[in-house]
Structure 1
Amino acid sequence: MPLDLASVEPSNSAILVIDVQNDFVSGSLAVRDAEQIINTINALLTLPFALKVATQDYHPANHISFARNHTGKKEFDKITIFPPAELVAKRTPEDERPLEALEQVLWPVHCVQDTTGVAFVDGLKHEGLEVIRKGCDVGIECYSAFEDPWGLTNTGLKDKLRNKEISNVFVVGIAGDYCVKSTALDAKKHGFRTFVIRDAVKSVSDEGTEWTEMTKAGVEIIDTAEELLTSKIFSQ
């Protein structure tokens, strides 16, 4: 199916580079072959997007998602987590999002604040990109670049996009079945036309269910970065 870029212009488009960090490429939670997408992402970053954003997982050492912080639990076990009471108490009356319990995978320690693992990988041309940090709260996991699953905290990304009058977002990075997917679904939910570029994404699992889930939600999948790189719309 031909790529439909109707209404897409550089002036109303942003690229979101998700979590291309040392720990996800060669460190404690490395995604297989993640280094293979770096050159593709760099090529996309040469296009004249109105806004270019890079996210960082940015956890405190005692983060709830780390297996070592749960007695008797092993890496990749699952637990049930609940919204932190101190943040629930700050909710505004108009916020009606349900505060249900969520399943949480327990991960190896990764992307801890002020460590080498949290840094962008060597080779990623991240100079000049706006940086959004997520997962900073001890008691909340935040896969999405926009907000946590309960909507109790947000990163400011939605406002940043709105202030730049962005209508279209292009999502790339790591991992397709976690942070890329969550970011794309939230972008679509917030009213942005959302694209994910398949050959600029690496996932943890080979199952591929994330692509079906995103497509069902209305996210548009671009098979290759070359489709954008050769598009007249983005020619400079």
Structure 2
Amino acid sequence: MKAALIVVDMQEDFCPPNGSLAVQEARDLAPTINTLLAHPGFTLRIASQDSHPANHISFAPNHPAPNNRPFECHIEMANPAPGKESETKPQRLWPIHCVAGTKGAEIIPEIDTANIDLYVQKGMDARVEMYSAFADAFGNLDAEVNRSSVDVHLKGVLEERGITDVFVVGVAGDYCVKFTAVDAARAGLRSYLVEDAVRCVDPGLGWEEAKRELSEAGVRVVRSDGPEVAGLVGSV
């Protein structure tokens, strides 16, 4: 068993008090996440960051009124993979957030980045949303298809390092954390979401629906003080 920790999108724009897409209590996760980052049982510690261009498809102001209200409105988004352009899905619109090179895209200073081994910049393709650190919103995992959206082929890195188990934390539990954990399972890894180390955009029904999807995908929802984390033994 070799375990990796993925810290998802602990960035200024996702954290109160000034984040443009702040998730309630997100900044308060830092102590729990730092404890996990310091755990000797993790072979690899990864941090993902949204790194969007200013013209990203998910930004509400990039679409015409009146159907461009953030959080409320959806647009149709096409699959950017060659030969799959006719495949579409609805995309929820968000406030402008985590634009590459801005303060809002930076990891909050409360996170102990000295323990981060690898950074993954994602959501770089203006044409498509990318919640997961593995794949875009259409599930494109292939390195060639995905290269415009993300700067690291995460599945390949984990395979090269012999990782068998992935623990996912951060924000938002009902979006980027959920999809990262699901894609870890899709990639053939044992996948765990650490519930007390996540916060959600929609913490009520949104989180309940997320837990249903996680269960269906084979992802286990655990706690940072639970036996799954306590039982980790370091390996290099």
TM normalised by structure 1 equals: 0.86
What is the CA–CA distance in structure 2 between the aligned matches of 1:142 and 1:230, rounded to whole Å?
A: 28
Instruction: Supply the distance in 2 between the matched residues of 1:234 and 1:161 (Cα, whole angstroms).
Output: 17
**Which of 58, 67, 70 does residue 75 from structure 1 map onto?**
70
SS in 2 for 1:113: coil
Gaps of 5+ in 2: none
1:4 corresponds to: none
> 5 Å matches for 1:37-186?
37-48=29-40, 49-72=42-65, 73-76=68-71, 77-84=73-80, 87-88=81-82, 100-129=87-116, 130-150=118-138, 151=140, 152-153=145-146, 155=150, 156-186=153-183
* Structure 1 CA distance for aligned equivalents of residues 229 and 61 of structure 2: 47
Contact 1:44 1:229 in 2 (8 A): no
- Alpha-carbon RMSD across the aligned residues, in angstroms, is 2.0
Spell out, residue by residue over 1:132-187, the C-alpha distance to the aligned partner (whole angstroms, 9 max, x if none).
Answer: 01100110110010011331315410011001000000000100110011111111
CA distance in 2, matches of 1:232, 1:161: 20
The runs of at least 4 consecutive aligned structure 1 residues that moved more than 4 Å come to none
- Aligned residue for 2:184? 187
C-alpha change, 1:32 and 1:69, in structure 2 (3 Å) is: same
What secondary structure does 1:185 align onto? helix
After superposition, residues 192-231 of structure 1 pair within 5 angstroms as: 192-205=189-202, 206-207=204-205, 208-222=208-222, 224-227=223-226, 231=230
Mark the CA change 1:191 to 1:136 in structure 2 (over 3 Å): closer, same or farther.
same
Unpaired segments ≥5 residues, structure 1 = 1-8, 90-96
Name the structure 2 match of 1:93. none
Identity over aligned residues, as a percent? 40
Deviations 1:89-112 (A, max 9, x none): 6xxxxxxx8962111011000000
In our comparison, the structure showing a higher alpha carbon Rg is 1
- The structure-2 alpha-carbon separation of the partners of 1:52 and 1:235, relative to structure 1 and needing over 3 Å to count, comes to closer
* CA–CA separation in structure 2 for the residues paired with 1:230 and 1:19: 21
Measured after TM superposition, the shift of residue 212 of structure 1 is: 1.5
Compute the TM-score of the two structures, normalised by the length of structure 2. Answer: 0.86
CA distance in 2, matches of 1:101, 1:216: 23
Q: Partners of 1:159 and 1:228 in 2: how far apart?
A: 28
Match of 1:13 in 2: 3
Aligned partners of 1:69, 1:44: CA distance in 2, in Å?
Answer: 38
Q: Which residue matches 1:94?
A: none
Q: Go from structure 1 to structure 2 and tell me whether the alpha carbon gap of 1:145 and 1:136 turns closer, same or farther (over 3 Å shift).
A: same
Give the drift of 1:57.
0.5
Alpha-carbon distance in structure 2 between the residues aligned to 1:192 and 1:200: 20
Which amino acid in 1 is paired with 2:59? F
In structure 2, the CA distance between the partners of 1:229 and 1:102, relative to structure 1 (3 Å rule), is closer
Q: Deviations over 1:52-107 (max 9, x none)?
A: 000000000111110111111221211111123xx426xxxxxxx89621110110
The whole-number CA distance in structure 2 between the counterparts of 1:21 and 1:36 is 13
Letter of the structure 2 residue corresponding to residue 141 of structure 1: E
- CA-to-aligned-CA distance 1:175-227 (integer Å, 9 cap, x gap): 011001111111101100001110001011121210121012110110x2112
